[in-house]
Structures are given as C-alpha cells and as structure tokens.
Structure 1
C-alpha cells in the first residue's frame, strides 16, 4: 500500500503539470513583466488580504473602505493581463475542487453509510 503522503506529493507534482497551472504560471509571469499591471495586481492582492483580515476579526467596513476596494477590484478586472490570470486561476480552482471532492469521498461515503444504517 502506498504512503498517503507520497501520494500527496505525487498529486502536487501532477498539479504542476496541469495545463491550467501552466497557463496560470504564464499569465502571472506576463503580469509580473508589466510594471503597471503588476503594481495594480499587488494593490488588489493587498486589498483582498486586508479585507479578509478585517472580516475574520469581525471589524466593520466603512463605506469609504468598501468603495476603495470596489474601485481597485474594478481596475483589476478591466486589466486584460490580470483578467487573463484570474481566468486561469479560476480554471485551476475548478481542478482543485474536483480533486478535493475525490479526496473527500471516503469521508462522505462513511457518513452517508452511517446515516443510511441508522434509518
């Protein structure tokens, strides 16, 4: 029987060769190569992280802050290079979600079986 951690590392290697990951890597390198797009991407990422931290801490968001975040997100979403990168990231996210469903299947089966047995 294979070691579960060895399988996880194999999965990681496989993920790195997925077309969606390679496309994301290429799109990210393109963004990094453009000073304006990269600065906007960094601003967008910093805003996302700050927003996440505020939400996790339960801190309220002022209207001014929300407007600023929406403005940055709007600029990022209209930048062609960033949009291409976000699309590639979404495609990779779909692959990761599919793999997660497969990985979680034994647990789901266990609970489904227990629920069915209890009835």
Structure 2
C-alpha cells in the first residue's frame, strides 16, 4: 500500500511545478519589486483582514467600511500586476479546492456528502 505522506509530497511537488503556481510566484516577485503595487496590495490585504476580524468577533461592519473596501478593490483591480495576481490566486485556489474534494471522497463513504444535504 502506498504511503499517504509520500503521495502528499508528490502532490506538493506537482503543485509547485504547475504553470499556475509558477505564474503566481512570478507575479509575487514582480509586485515585491514594484513599491507602489506592493503598498497597494498590502493596504488592500490589511483592510480585508481587518474586516474579517470584525466579522469573526461579531462586530457590525459599517456602510463606510464596505464602501472603503469596494473602493480599494476597484483600485487594486486597475493595477495590471495586482489584477493578474488575483486571477492567478483564484485559479490556484480552484485547483486546490478540486484536489481537496478528490482526497476527501473516501470520507464521504463514512460521513456522507455534506454538500448534498
């Protein structure tokens, strides 16, 4: 029987060698070299984290905060490198989600499929 951890290492390597991962890594390096893009992205990510923290703590998010987040999102989407980065992140996220579904299929035999309920 194959060692699960060996297969996990193979999967890690396959992800690291995928075109989507290589593109994502390249875009991160490019953004790190562009001070404006780096600052814009960091500000946007910090705003996202702050809003998520508030939600998790049960705090109400104001209309002003929602508008600010929307404006920040529109701003970063206009920056070509950041927009490409977000697209690459989304593609890799879909891939990882798909892989997660595949590797958790054996558990459905025991627990059922929670998505189907």
Structure 1-normalised TM-score?
0.86
Q: What is the alpha-carbon root mean square deviation over aligned residues?
A: 1.4
What is the correspondence of 1:55-74 to structure 2 with a 5 Å cutoff?
55-74=55-74
Partner of 2:53: 53
Q: Distance in 1 between matches of 2:54 and 2:36?
A: 27
For residue 85 of structure 1, report the CA deviation from its aligned partner.
0.5
Structure 1 runs not aligned, ≥5 long: 113-119
Partner of 1:117: none
Residue aligned with 1:105, SS? helix
Residue aligned with 2:29, SS? helix
Partner of 1:5: 5
Q: Distance in 1 between matches of 2:55 and 2:79?
A: 26
Structure 2 runs not aligned, ≥5 long: 113-117
For residue 41 of structure 1, report the CA deviation from its aligned partner.
0.4
Q: Distance in 2 between matches of 1:19 and 1:47?
A: 29
Per-residue CA deviation, residues 17-51 of structure 1 (Å, 9 max, x unaligned), is 11100011111111111111110000011111111
Partner of 1:103: 103
Partner of 2:75: 75
Q: Distance in 2 between matches of 1:31 and 1:109?
A: 44
Give the number of equivalent residue pairs.
Answer: 112
Q: Distance in 2 between matches of 1:25 and 1:92?
A: 11
Partner of 2:115: none
For residue 86 of structure 1, report the CA deviation from its aligned partner.
0.6
